[in-house]
Amino acid sequence: MIPKLLQQEVEREIGEGIEFSSMLSGGSINSVAKVKVKGEAFVLKWNKATLYSMFEVEEKGLHLLGMYSGELIIPKVIGLGKTASYSWLMIQYIPEHSHSSASFDAFGRALATMHRNTSAEYGLDHDNYIGSLAQKNDFQKKWIEFFRACRIEPQLSLAIDSGKLSPSISKQTERLYAKLDSIFPDEPASLLHGDLWSGNMFATHNGYTALIDPAVYYGHREMELAFTRLFGGFSPSFYSGYHEAWPVEPGFEDRIDLYNLYPLLVHVNLFGGGYIRQVEQILKPF
C-alpha cells in the first residue's frame, strides 16, 4: 500500500485525489503502484527521500528519449517530489501487450531511427544511474576513452574494492584497453536507452513498443544492441528489422562480449555470484 503521508503529498502536488491503487511487481529498487486519478491510470514509484536524485535523472532521461523517440512509446512524467521520508515519481501508465514478430521488427527499425540522433561527444550533461549504481557520463571525444573511463573503470574499481574481483584483473583490462582502438568501429555517439533488457521494454496495444527505466547517454549504438543479447527476450525479427534499417559493421558478433563487460560488472557489484565468472572468462584472453 502507498504510505498515507506520501499519498497526501502526491495528491497535493498533482491537485487531485488518488481513487484507487494496487501494487505492481518487478520493482527491485523502488516500490511501484498503479494508481487511478479521475479514472485515468498512472504509475507511482517511490523510495527513500535520500534517493530523490534517482527520480530527477529518470525524469530527465524520459524527457530526452521522448524528444527523439519517433515511433517508440515513452511514458510522460506527471509529477516528481519529495517529503521528509519519501521521494516519488509519477508517470503515464501504458498497458502491456504481447509482442509479435511484426511488432518486434517495427521495434528494431524504430530503435535504429532513435539511434540516428547523435552528439558530437560521447556522454551526457549529467550523471545518472544504472540500476541502483551511479553511472558516470563525463563527455569524451572518443568512444574507447568513454568506455574505459566512464563505463569499465568505475565498476571495476568498485568490484575490486569490495573484494568481489581480484586486483590482478586490472592488468588484463589494461591490455584490453590497449587493443580497443582496433576492435571497436568508429561511429558517431548515438542516443541510447542505456539499460535495454527485456524487462524495460514491452509491446503496446497498437503494435508499438514502450521503453521504461532509462539510463540514458550518448554512446556507441553497438553497446545497446549487445546489451539486448545479454539476457535474451528479443525476437530475431527485432535484429533483422534493426539491421535492415541500419546495418552494423562486420565483426559485431565478436565484439558483443566486450561491450557487455559493463553490464556484467554492474551485476557483479549488485549480485556477485556467476557474473564474476562471466567477467573473468571475457578477460581471460587478455
The answer on pLDDT for 225 being more than 70 is yes
CATH number attached to the domain at 4-92: 3.30.200.20
Instruction: List the grid coordinates of 176.
Output: 584490453
For residue 76, which amino acid is it?
A: K
pLDDT at 28 exceeding the cut of 80: no
Q: What percent of the chain has pLDDT over 90?
A: 94
Query: For position 26, what pLDDT does the model report?
Result: 63
Supply the pLDDT for residue 27: 63
Higher pLDDT, 273 or 189: 189
The overall average pLDDT reported for the chain is: 96
Mean pLDDT check: name the lowest of 28-32, 112-116, 154-158, 169-173.
Answer: 28-32
Q: Write the pLDDT tens digit of every residue in 167-223.
A: 999 999 999 999 999 999 999 999 999 999 999 999 998 999 999 999 999 999 999
Distance between CA 221 and CA 255 in Å, rounded?
A: 12
The DSSP code sequence of the chain is: ---HHHHHHHHHHHTS---EEEE-S--SSSEEEEEEETTEEEEEEEEEGGGHHHHHHHHHHHHHHHHH-TTEE-PPEEEEEE-SSEEEEEEE----B---HHHHHHHHHHHHHHHT-EESSBB-SS-EEETTEEE----BSSHHHHIIIIIIHHHHHHHHHTTSS-TTHHHHHHHHHTTHHHHSPP-PEEEE-S--SGGGEEE-TTS-EEE-S---EEE-HHHHHHHHHHS----HHHHHHHHHHSPPPTTHHHHHHHHTHHHHHHHHHHH-THHHHHHHHHHTT-
> Would you say residue 131 has pLDDT above 80?
yes
Active site residue 161: no
- pLDDT greater than 80 at residue 5: yes
**Is-same-fold flag (4-92; 101-283)?**
no
Domain ranges of the chain: 4-92, 101-283
* pLDDT tens digit sequence for 190-201: 999 999 999 999
Residue 12 has pLDDT above 80, yes or no: yes
- Over 70: is that where the pLDDT of 251 sits? yes
- pLDDT band for position 123 (50/70/90)? very high
Residue 261 has pLDDT above 70, yes or no: yes
Neighbour tally for 8: CB within 10 Å: 14
**How do residues 39-53 score in pLDDT, each as one tens digit?**
999 999 999 999 999
Q: Is the pLDDT of residue 114 over 80?
A: yes
> Among residues 105, 186, 195, 213, which one is catalytic?
195
Grid coordinates in use for 245? 534499417
147-158: average pLDDT? 98
Provide the pLDDT confidence category of residue 135 given band limits of 50, 70 and 90.
very high
CATH 3.90.1200.10 fits 101-283, yes or no: yes
